[in-house]
Amino acid sequence: MLKPIKPSKKQAPVRERPLVLIADDSPTVLDILKFILETNGMDTLLATNGVEAVQVMYRDLPDLVILDLEMPKMSGYQVCRLLKSDPTVSFVPIIILTSKSYKQNKFWGLYSGADDYLTKDFEIDQLVSRVNFHYNNRGKLVEIKPVQSKTIKEEEIIENVNEALDQKLFETTITFEIAQVALSAGTLEEKIGKVLNLMNRVCDFTVASIFVVEMGQGRLFLENPGMASESYIFSHVEAVILESQNHDMKFDTQKVMINQWETGKDRGTQYNNIQSQVSFPLKIRGVTQGLVTFTHFSSGMFPDVVFHLLKRAADQMALLVDEAILFNEYSKLRSDLLTHATKVFSEVMANGREVEKLLNKKLNSISPWI
């Protein structure tokens, strides 16, 4: 991920006309798009490869980017992912304009962070309409921050691309590991224990927890690799309960079940107070039914890179918890059905025996020789 540019008091220039960066390795396509946009009241910047597109982006800070997928040096996918991973420019809309019309290309383009996807058989009115729409909606979903232009060398861009790819691979590996835990046999307690143990191997925290609300009952699973003191753990629990109430989770705060944990020695006030904390809601079937929380007694322990990793992991944890809840619901339903079936069968058998007795009695009253 590109190192975020420190906010500056100098705002991006206020322009009378939208400034659009067009990145394509075809001179013909560049000329056509330049003519269309400038005829419709916009100014343009041109780039002929992916590296140049990134350099122009940070140098001139355009309002919108039109990006081809197949370009020299860097593909449009890489450019898009790189720019969208940098919070200082991620608010700039990116429209992919390509000759590739396959569904997998569109999926990967939008997954890379693009705001829109058009093929090169577009209608002029369609292109202009999409550009105006995204330009007018800048900042409604992502905050526009003060940005200062800068010059970036090609070597730095390639380095940042590799870092972004490595980070994405790392995140994908972690989510895959969590998915494997979700598919494995075991109780909810065992699976959550495995996941929290996995997170302990990839990031530093003093205490981590997964809080789940099921049928109005709160259940808190703790991981304490730092051997925090009892007072620190109580602070963590209080922070979790408070945060869960902020997400309007319905449960009885006096009846929260907490798993057993081993505490460490009280090492002093410095180690008993929470200095860093991140929490992520676990949305299950559209409703927040859980919360994953990481805390540390030192400050600055969850920078952006770690934050995004934990958030990605939390999304996968929500699936794990949902699967476990569904399994518990299925098990309870199956148990209830078996109990009901057994009761009905017993009643049927009892009624059958009673009918048999009545029938035999009737037959005996008609003829004692039967």
Query: CATH code at 205?
Result: 3.30.450.40
Determine if the pTM surpasses 0.85. Answer: no
Task: Indicate if 29 and 124 belong to the same structural domain.
Answer: yes
Range of the domain at 315: 186-328
Task: Indicate if 144 and 235 belong to the same structural domain.
Answer: no
Task: Indicate if 243 and 305 belong to the same structural domain.
Answer: yes
pLDDT above 70 coverage of the chain, percent: 88
Q: Which of 37, 105, 102 is nearest to 69 (CA)?
A: 105
Q: Does 4 map to a domain? A: no
**Token pair in block for residue 265:** 């020695």
Q: Does 249 map to a domain? A: yes
Q: How many domains does the chain have?
A: 2
Domain final position from 291, 311, 328: 328
Q: Which of 199, 240, 244, 246 is nearest to 223 (CA)?
A: 199
Q: What is the pLDDT of residue 316?
A: 86
The per-residue pLDDT for range 44-96, each reduced to its tens digit, is 999 999 999 999 999 999 999 999 988 888 888 888 888 888 878 888 999 99
Task: Indicate if 114 and 240 belong to the same structural domain.
Answer: no
Q: Does 75 map to a domain? A: yes
Domain final position from 152, 175, 196: 152
Q: Does 180 map to a domain? A: no
Q: Does 283 map to a domain? A: yes
Higher-confidence position of 29 and 253: 29
Higher-confidence position of 268 and 282: 282
Distance separating alpha carbons of residues 192 and 214, to the nearest angstrom: 15
Q: What is the mean pLDDT of residues 280-291?
A: 86
The per-residue pLDDT for range 128-152, each reduced to its tens digit, is 999 999 988 876 655 666 667 777 7
The per-residue pLDDT for range 201-259, each reduced to its tens digit, is 888 899 999 998 877 788 899 988 878 888 899 899 999 988 988 888 888 777 788 88
Higher-confidence position of 299 and 156: 299
Q: Does 367 map to a domain? A: no
Q: Does 139 map to a domain? A: yes
What lies within 8 Å, CB to CB, of 296 at 6+ separation is: 204, 205, 206, 226, 274, 275, 276, 277, 302
Q: Does 360 map to a domain? A: no
Reported confidence tier of residue 329, pLDDT bands at 50, 70, 90: low
Task: Indicate if 113 and 62 belong to the same structural domain.
Answer: yes
